[in-house]
Amino acid sequence: MRIIGMVRILGILAAIAFVSQVGLAVAAEESKQQKKAKSDPATAQPGGGVQSNKAKASESPRLTKGRSCSGATPKIKKITPDEGKAGDKVTIAGEHFGEPGCVSMVSFGPGSPAKFTQVDDRIITVTVPAGKKGMELLIVTGFTGEDSKPFLRK
């Protein structure tokens, strides 16, 4: 009986030693992962997802806090003048353009983006870009969609 009791005790001690070593190895591995996460900008974390120590988009200086871009699709009501040549200034009057910065692009047909200034929710000024002469669609692309009207490029 004494030998069987001693074997049991040795078995229990061996099991405890094994669990301790496994626990230490796991703790060491977790420590390595934490150190790596601090040195790497983005690493996969157990449990899914990607953690990053980079700045958040909401903290970007390129974003304007408090900008209110309209939920409605932009609507062009009038283009003045409705014809022109490269370099001419054109005023686009409409609604639902949002605050300045909400309109992402103004173009005169596909592949012909123009330089523009969004004055407010209802006015955009644009310079006619160089391009082929003829009837084109002047397209205003806003936060939630786009609208277009014909424009004659001379």
Domain extents for the chain?
Answer: 2-54, 75-153
pLDDT digits over 61-116, tens only?
Answer: 444 455 667 688 999 999 999 999 999 999 999 999 988 888 999 999 888 999 99
pLDDT digits over 106-144, tens only?
Answer: 999 888 999 999 999 999 999 999 998 999 999 999 888
pLDDT-based confidence at residue 55 (cuts at 50, 70, 90)? very low
In this structure, which topology does domain 75-153 adopt according to CATH?
A: Immunoglobulin-like (2.60.40)
| DSSP state string for the chain | -HHHHHHHHHHHHHHHHHHHHHHHHHHHHHHHHHHHHHHSSEEE-TTS-EEE-SPPGGG-TTSPTT----SSPPEEEEEESSEE-TT-EEEEEEE---STT---EEEESTT-B--EEE-SSSEEEEEPPS--SEEEEEEEE-SS-EEEEEEEE-
Closest-CA residue to 66 (of 96, 102, 117, 120): 102
pLDDT digits over 74-85, tens only?
Answer: 999 999 999 999
Q: What is the pTM of this model?
A: 0.57
